[in-house]
Amino acid sequence: MFLSIGGCKKESYFRDTAPILEANSKILTYDSVQQSSVMVLGVFHFGKNTLAEKNQNSIKELVALLKAYKPTKIVVEWEPERSPLANEQYQMYLKDSFDISNKHNEVYQLGFRLAKAMGHDSIFMFDDQTDYIGSLAEFATEDDPFSFELFSDYANGESNGFYNVHENLLRHVYGENSKLRNSMNLLEHITLLNSPIHQKTNAQRMHMYEVRVGIQKNWAGPDWLGRWYRRNVRMMANTLKMMENGDNLLLIVGDNHKWTLDMLFENTPDFKVDSSWDFLIRQSIMEEAESLGFFFKYQQDYITKKMMQ
């Protein structure tokens, strides 16, 4: 068949797409698998300043918001091997014989508090400190299984500028985003860490710097990124193993894990992924509406309008 375009005849091939579309409509999926819900809450790793009164108030607000998710299990970024000691401490905490007022780690400040508020008798761990194998073993020291200093020295020596071509942009974006976060209180800061845009910058960052090291040589950069994926795949698998039908799993984890874990959970048919960003924003708006004295019907209208802003 020939098609005339601008007075010129060009051969054109037309294909009936109906059979393809019909076949596509008949493709079977695994969506019938019974699912449990999971929500990944990305946080920064708490430092001693989280023990300050203003941050403690924000933590209490965050715990109150997260209770509305009705989590059936609180999962924290520790390895399962730590579970016996951690749960021994948690049991003591339930009996008011373990003091967390001087323990700044988010496992205690968020995990213990929320689990107690929900009436849970235990907490769960899912991290995996994956070995640095293959080319990554070249950058081990006596005190450190992986030295970023050695890795950086190698990168700067072999890349001829290829490794750090984006470094100025990276520093600019990181600096500007840090200013935004540092202008907020703890609750606002954590909420922002869970936004899709912030998570996109985390994912982009992981694919624009270290991954450029050692390509077609020792593959150190791609192996470094591969280790990151391997670690998160194992974290997802640990979650899969602890999951029970009907669970609402709340994972508290360093925010750079969130984009990876969300992707893995979304592609695992056993899980339905709930957006921590949507949840936190919606709950905060709901509290705002309640404080303004709106009745339920008007609360929902108010929430819808605010979510669209």
Distance CA(236)–CA(242), nearest Å, equals 10
Question: Is the predicted pLDDT of residue 28 greater than 70, yes or no?
Answer: yes
Domain boundaries, the chain: 36-129+244-276, 134-225, 277-309
Across the range 215-223, mean pLDDT stands at 95
In tens, the pLDDT along 253-293 reads 999 999 999 999 999 999 999 999 999 999 988 776 665 55
Q: Mind listing the pLDDT tens digit for each residue in 40-59?
A: 999 999 999 999 999 999 99
Examine the pLDDT at 303 and tell me if it is beyond 60. no
- pTM comes to 0.88
Assess whether pLDDT exceeds 70 at residue 307. no
pLDDT of residue 8: 60
* Percent of the chain predicted with pLDDT > 90: 83
Q: Cα angle at 258 between 69 and 143, to 5 degrees? A: 125
